[in-house]
Structure 1
Amino acid sequence: MEIRLLNPVDAEKYWALRLEALMNNPEAFASSYEEAITRENPIEQTARNFQTEGNYTFGAFEDHELIGMVTLLQESPIKIRHKANIFAMYVTPTKQGQSVGKALLTEAINKAKTFDYIEKINLTVTAGNEKAKNLYTRLGFKVFGYEEKALKINGEYYDDEQMVLHLK
């Protein structure tokens, strides 16, 4: 398995995996599959995102196939520049439980540590997603908040937990 920063050439593979993630785990993402498939030029938008300063998306590859992804997004306003956020964490189901998520998240954390001004990393996880919460906890994240009814999907509510990893 190879973990690396994604670039514009990877946009099509990323978008396909993103749609899979939205379809398989709608409760884990604020975006919906239905909204995503109506986006205009999503692959071009994705390619641009990969070149945006402060936006780092890592991919896990096995035999040139993208099997997992995570995005580290730095905050840019001066007052919150000391924070970064984890978004769009996903590993394809057939590769879950094989430390792909841990490798991806470790890479994102290590990237954040290369910036001396980033002091903490925040993320949000669905409260019922025990596998993800266990991974985040093993890597040092701690819960600092809880939002009831954070998402509503087909009339069903999902709660979210906010987690933080202090780097300094």
Structure 2
Amino acid sequence: MKLERLGSQHAEPYRRIRLEALQKNPEAFGSSYQEEKDKTIEDFENRIQSKNVFTIGAFEGENLIGIVNLVTETKLKLKHRASIFAMYVQEDYRGSGTGRKLMEEAISLAKTQSGIEQIYLTVVTGNMAAKGLYTSLGFVVYGEDKRALKIGNTYYDEEHMVLFI
């Protein structure tokens, strides 16, 4: 497995894995498959190339098997912060260390960005594997958002976590 920062040439595989993530684990993301399925390759290309978004991909051979986004803040009073979004590893590769490697790479990347002092993320309270990973990397819970997401008639609570670097 190798890690790589994604560029415009990865827009199609990124789109494919992003839509898979939204279909297979809708409770883990604020966006929905319905909202993103009709976006163009150019939309995904623009997302990858945004100057304050760092999209890291995990590859097994030529196959993109996992992704994570590190987003740095651009407003003057928030520039000391970054956030993790869109963390996803394909089912066949979960438990293999891929998620840990993606997160470690995102944390390392944040440390190279001038002024970043803390990294934020949210996780659905029932996702024990993800919570365990984030906790093992030093993230701590600082709050809970009750009924943060609603899919059909089901609500999902989220925990807010932070890592001070």
* Structure 1 unpaired stretches of 5+: none
Where does residue 134 of structure 1 map in the other structure? 132
Where does residue 6 of structure 2 map in the other structure? 6
Distance 1:140 1:59 in 2: 22
TM-score (structure 2 length as normaliser): 0.98
1:49 aligns with 2:47: yes
Distance 1:165 1:78 in 2: 20
After superposition, residues 1-168 of structure 1 pair within 5 angstroms as 1-39=1-39, 41=40, 43-167=41-165
Distance 2:73 2:132 in 1: 26
Distance 1:47 1:115 in 2: 22
- Deviating beyond 2 angstroms after TM superposition, the runs of 4 or more aligned structure 1 residues are none
Distance 1:135 1:4 in 2: 21
State the identity as a percent: 48
Deviation (angstroms), 1:49: 2.0
Q: Which digits, 9 at most, give the CA deviation of each residue in 1:62-99, with x for residues without a partner?
A: 01100000000000000011000000000000000000
Q: Which digits, 9 at most, give the CA deviation of each residue in 1:132-156, with x for residues without a partner?
A: 0000000000000101000010100
Distance 2:38 2:46 in 1: 18
Deviation (angstroms), 1:38: 3.0
Root-mean-square deviation (Å) = 0.7
Deviation (angstroms), 1:24: 0.5
Aligned residues: 165
Secondary structure of 2:49's match? coil
Distance 1:91 1:115 in 2: 25
What is the one-letter code of the residue matched to 1:47? Answer: E
What is the one-letter code of the residue matched to 1:151? Answer: L
